[in-house]
Structure 1
């Protein structure tokens, strides 16, 4: 068989794909750890000074459809629970989707947002979208747990 001009580029593509696939679990874990830490720290900040948090939800954040007190409780609870699920990779897609909703609501509820802050929210949203679409990865509790209970959510 004679070698065609496509065989070398195709071999390089296959090799590159194998390398990227090998790195995928580490990238998914890094994304989970990073975004989880960002949101969890935000939740800790809110409970550290609850009076200020309530004032912010009353005066600064304009969360649609929810009274300020309920929005503060739900937002803080979400920022403390969902990142833990995300970091562990336990119901990882649920955690990623929940944090995605919170991320969008955070952007929409501010009357003015600095361009740098908006850029951060877009970055976090991109990572969360990837985790929601492709799952928390092989290095997650979902990857260990679901096969044992007969389920099959993709990793």
Structure 2
């Protein structure tokens, strides 16, 4: 009986909570890497301006993150851009599967090269991202709207 009730939890709700939650994780991380642009709708903090690397960003990639084969300047740019673009797409439910795949790739890199001891946290991220890759953004997504329009 309980299993029957719980199986009625709609995909759209799980997908929406998953999209919002994982987007917040990466967005907040990206926000620590920039100055001049601060948007936190939950806290109500909005500072619009031209984004630039925070003073500590390049040092972070040179000293702590140190990815192999990628210069720290390029790694910082790629990570910061990914942490701002893909969360917005996920939140909107636009290119959900592709965005989730990109963030899963980033999660794998972080797990292997940066924080290998953080596997419980990265496992949670991977689970949400894999769910979104497999099932899509749900009914409350632009992806769904576009899919329905293409059937007309």
Match of 2:66 in 1: 62
Greater helix percent: which structure? 1
Contact 2:61/2:73, CA 8 A, preserved across alignment: yes
Tell me the CA shift for residue 106 of structure 1. Answer: 1.2
How many residue pairs end up in the alignment? Answer: 135
Gapped regions of structure 2 (runs ≥ 5) = 36-52
Tell me the CA shift for residue 150 of structure 1. Answer: 4.8
Match of 2:124 in 1: 123
Match of 1:20 in 2: 7
Distance in 2 of aligned mates of 1:42 and 1:122: 17
Alignment of 1:4-153 (within 5 A): 16=4, 20-48=7-35, 50-110=54-114, 113-114=116-117, 117-150=118-151
Runs of 4+ deviating beyond 4 Å: none
Greater strand percent: which structure? 2
TM-score for the superposition, normalised by structure 2: 0.79
Gapped regions of structure 1 (runs ≥ 5) = 1-11
Look at both structures and tell me which one has the larger radius of gyration over its CA atoms.
1
RMSD: 2.2
